[in-house]
């Protein structure tokens, strides 16, 4: 499957690939024709590969109180910090770096209600820079689990990624592993959780969005009836958000 956010770019790359292919027919020398054809085929293949959107199913035991990875990639940092935006207190931050070869479709880490959704313009530091989380272009989402536990997750653009897209808004009811957006061409995802969450992740670990369990939410006082089931998909184009027109 191909991510819908990539349709326009794929169409442009296909047009360029076609132009290079046709142009190569007018070149007699294979020393020139060969690289032109290789560039056309390679560019199209990489673009299709980048925008792949595989099906992901969270583990059954993570659907109710589990926290799954919101992005594919490598965990570059697990750190303690103060979080004043949504959790308003001490938190543990998990930072996931996505290389251009990773699947870039992002997924909701846990079920609940989106209480905060905001896009913030910013800089384009390399995604692994310590200040990228607070200085780079990003979108921020605060989610409350039915137990009352609050999570904050952020799509963060990197030095190459210059476009963030998402289809979440305040008031949305979401499910664990639900697809919600993409950051194009290299990025970072931060997940912040309160100290009460039992983490099962460490630095250097490779994770997969929607399937790798990062931790569990304490549910002693949880009431599953507080949050209704979300729709099977949240793909209404009218609700989609983007950092550029």
Q: How far from 131 is each of 50, 66, 166, CA to CA, in Å? A: 26, 28, 23
pLDDT at res. 101: 85
Total Cβ atoms within 10 A of residue 90 = 11
Of 34-38, 104-108, 214-218, 235-239, the one with minimum mean pLDDT is 235-239
Categorize the per-residue pLDDT at 4 as very low, low, confident or very high, splitting at 50, 70 and 90: confident
- Does the structure show a pLDDT above 70 at 236? no
Mean pLDDT over 58-68 rounds to: 93
pTM for this one? 0.79
Please indicate whether residue 137 or residue 110 has the higher confidence score (pLDDT).
110
C-alpha closest to that of 53 among 165, 144, 214: 165
- At residue 124 the predicted structure's pLDDT band, cuts being 50, 70 and 90, is low
Over residues 141-167, mean pLDDT = 86
- Under DSSP, the state recorded for 2 is B
Please report the pLDDT score of residue 244 as a whole number.
Answer: 47
pLDDT at 23 over 90: no
pLDDT at 184: 76
* pLDDT of 222 strictly over 80: no
User: What does the alpha-carbon distance between residue 158 and residue 190 come to, in Å, rounded to a whole number?
Assistant: 13
The arithmetic mean of pLDDT across residues 164-172, rounded, is: 92
Question: Active-site residues: which are they?
Answer: 187
Mean pLDDT within 21-43: 84
Calpha distance 214→164 (Å, rounded): 23
CA gap 159, 161 in Å, rounded: 6
Does pLDDT of 52 surpass 60?
yes
Provide the angle, in degrees to the nearest 10, between the axes of the packed helices 7-24 and 30-50: 170
Ranked by mean pLDDT, which of 3-12, 40-49, 195-204, 236-245 comes out on top? 195-204
- Band of pLDDT at residue 245, cut at 50, 70 and 90: very low
The pLDDT of residue 49 = 77
Give residue 132's pLDDT band: very low, low, confident or very high (50, 70, 90). Answer: low
Q: What is the mean pLDDT of residues 179-191?
A: 85
Query: Is residue 154 within 8 Å of 139, Cβ to Cβ?
Result: yes
């Amino acid at each position: 499957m191909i991510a819908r956010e990539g349709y326009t770019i794929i169409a442009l790359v296909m047009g360029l690939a076609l132009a290079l292919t046709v142009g190569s027919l007018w070149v007699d020398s294979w020393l020139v024709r060969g690289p032109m054809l290789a560039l056309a085929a390679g560019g199209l293949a990489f673009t299709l590969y980048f925008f792949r959107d595989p099906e992901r199913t969270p583990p059954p035991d993570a659907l109710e109180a589990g926290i799954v990875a919101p992005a594919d990639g490598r965990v570059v940092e697990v750190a303690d910090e103060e979080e004043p935006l949504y959790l308003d207190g001490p938190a543990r931050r998990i930072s996931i770096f996505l290389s251009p070869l990773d699947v870039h479709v992002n997924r909701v880490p846990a079920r609940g209600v989106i209480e905060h959704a905001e896009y913030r313009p910013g800089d384009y530091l390399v995604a692994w820079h310590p200040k990228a989380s607070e200085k780079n272009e990003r979108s921020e989402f605060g989610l409350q689990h039915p137990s009352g536990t609050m999570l904050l997750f952020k799509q963060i653009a990197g030095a190459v990624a210059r476009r963030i897209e998402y289809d979440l808004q305040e008031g949305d009811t979401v499910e664990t592993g639900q697809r919600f957006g993409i950051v194009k061409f290299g990025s970072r995802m931060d997940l912040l959780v309160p100290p009460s969450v039992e983490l099962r992740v460490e630095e250097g670990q490779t994770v997969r969005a929607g399937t790798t369990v990062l931790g569990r939410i304490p549910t002693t006082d949880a009431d599953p009836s507080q949050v209704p089931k979300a729709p099977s998909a949240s793909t209404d184009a009218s609700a989609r958000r983007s950092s550029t027109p």
